[in-house]
Amino acid sequence: MTPPGLHVRNASLTFGQRALFSKLECEFPASSWTCLLGRSGSGKSSLLRMIAGLHLPDNHHLDLTTSDGEALRGRLAWMAQQDLLVPWERVLGNVMLGARWRGERSASAVARAREMLALVGLAERADAWPAALSGGQRQRVSLARTLFEDASVVLMDEPFSAVDAITRLELHELAYRLLAERTVIMVTHDPLEALRLAERILVLKGDPARLVPLAAPETPRPRALDDAEVQTRQTALVAELRETADAQ
Ligand SMILES: Nc1ncnc2c1ncn2[C@@H]1O[C@H](COP(=O)(O)OP(=O)(O)OP(=O)(O)O)[C@@H](O)[C@H]1O
């Protein structure tokens, strides 16, 4: 798995009379972790969906190229705020949902799914139903499913926003460890989350929105809460986001 970098050009999106953004351009280097922030409604999720090639109303456009020139299809995983576990499959079945949809039911797939569950610390819960898990555990299953797909590009839309603050910090450690080396784009509302995990920070700002890059700390990730650079830059990032909101 050699993750590609992504180059987005001419990203434009209009809903009704409102142009959310027009002709955005941005680069996501191979094996880098980018966090995308911005005020609510600025179009973060829509941009991520467009990069993923997911369905949107047809008044949008985006040109996407990969650094290796190969198609992104089959190399992409999506992780959302809602864990998207299906209630009629047990935990193990949820991890290997993609394999089932593709008609792969080999013993090696089952073994791999168990391996991924072990990585997220849920080996013992393979036969549990999703309803019996906590929100944090469900997100860990979701992470195991992302790992099972072995995608080199991972797009995450507020993946940790529905869990409590302490679980979120634990999930940061886990996600960082397990997704290292992949090309990750993560939408988040949480400046601290971005400052702990990101190598690059982009803010969607203005109306129509443009992408403003902000300096991320240069200390090793996942950064500690009391990392001096995290503290300093948090003030600047919050100010940037507040200015974004005020400007609307
Ligand atoms: N399918 C759709 N049809 C019409 N309008 C939409 C559609 N999807 C999103 N919008 C509008 O586009 C805008 C951007 O939505 P989007 O979810 O991309 O923003 P966001 O920055 O991710 O917001 P949040 O942080 O609140 O999740 C919002 O005003 C939303 O109401």
Q: Which of 12, 21, 37, 46 to mutate to test ligand 1, by most ligand atoms within 8 A of the CB atom? A: 46
Q: Is residue 206 part of a domain?
A: no
What's the gap in Å between 45 CA and the centre of ligand 1?
Answer: 7
Distance CA 139, CA 144 (A): 9
| 52 falls within a domain | yes
Whose Cα sits closest to atom 7 in ligand 1? 15
Report pLDDT for 212: 93
Q: Which atom of ligand 1 is nearest to the CA of 57?
A: 1
- Closest by CA to 79, choosing from 187, 7, 218, is 187
Contact present, 44 and 36 (Cβ < 8 Å): yes
CB of 38 shorter than 6 A to ligand 1: yes
Identify the pLDDT of residue 170.
Answer: 87
> What is the per-residue pLDDT for 22?
93
Q: Residue 163 has what pLDDT?
A: 82
Residue 244's pLDDT is 54
Q: Which atom of ligand 1 is nearest to the CA of 38?
A: 21
Q: Are strands 6-15 and 18-28 parallel, antiparallel or unpaired?
A: antiparallel
Any domain includes 202: no
Q: What's residue 164's pLDDT?
A: 83
* Rg value, the chain, Cα: 18
Give the chain's domain count: 1
Whole-angstrom CA distances from 112 to 88, 116, 122, 172 are 21, 6, 13, 23
Mean pLDDT per block of 10 residues along the chain (248 residues) reads 93 90 95 95 93 84 95 88 87 91 84 92 95 91 89 93 85 89 95 95 92 92 93 90 64
Q: Would you say residue 92 lies in a domain?
A: yes
Q: How far is CA 73 from the centre of its chain?
A: 17
Evaluate whether residue 205 is within a structural domain: no
Q: What is the ipTM of this complex?
A: 0.93
Q: Is 98 in the pocket of ligand 1 (CB under 6 A)?
A: no
User: Does the residue 77 lie in any domain?
Assistant: yes
CA distance 104 to 114: 15
pLDDT at 150: 85
Arithmetic mean of pLDDT over the chain:
90
Which uninterrupted H or E stretch holds 142?
Answer: helix 135-148
46 ligand 1 Cβ < 6 A: yes
What would the pLDDT profile of 189-245 be if each residue is shown by its tens digit? 999 999 999 999 999 998 899 999 998 999 999 999 999 999 989 988 998 888 755
CA distance 241 to 199: 18
- CA dist 4 and 150 (Å) reads 13
pLDDT at 210: 93
The verdict on residue 106 lying in a domain is yes
CATH code of residue 42: 3.40.50.300
Q: Is 50 close to ligand 1, i.e. is its CB under 6 Å away?
A: no
Q: Which amino acid is at 4?
A: P
- Residue of minimum CA distance from atom 30 in ligand 1: 41
Q: Is the peptide bond prior to 222 cis by the omega test (within 30 degrees of 0)?
A: yes
Structural tokens at position 76: 């992409």
Phi, psi (deg, nearest 5) at residue 178: -85, -25
Ligand 1 center to 47 CA (angstroms): 10
Query: What is residue 89's predicted lDDT score, i.e. its pLDDT?
Result: 94
What residue numbers bound the domain in which 180 lies? Answer: 6-196+211-247
Does residue 56 sit within a domain? Answer: yes
Do the beta carbons of residue 41 and residue 68 sit within 8 Å?
no
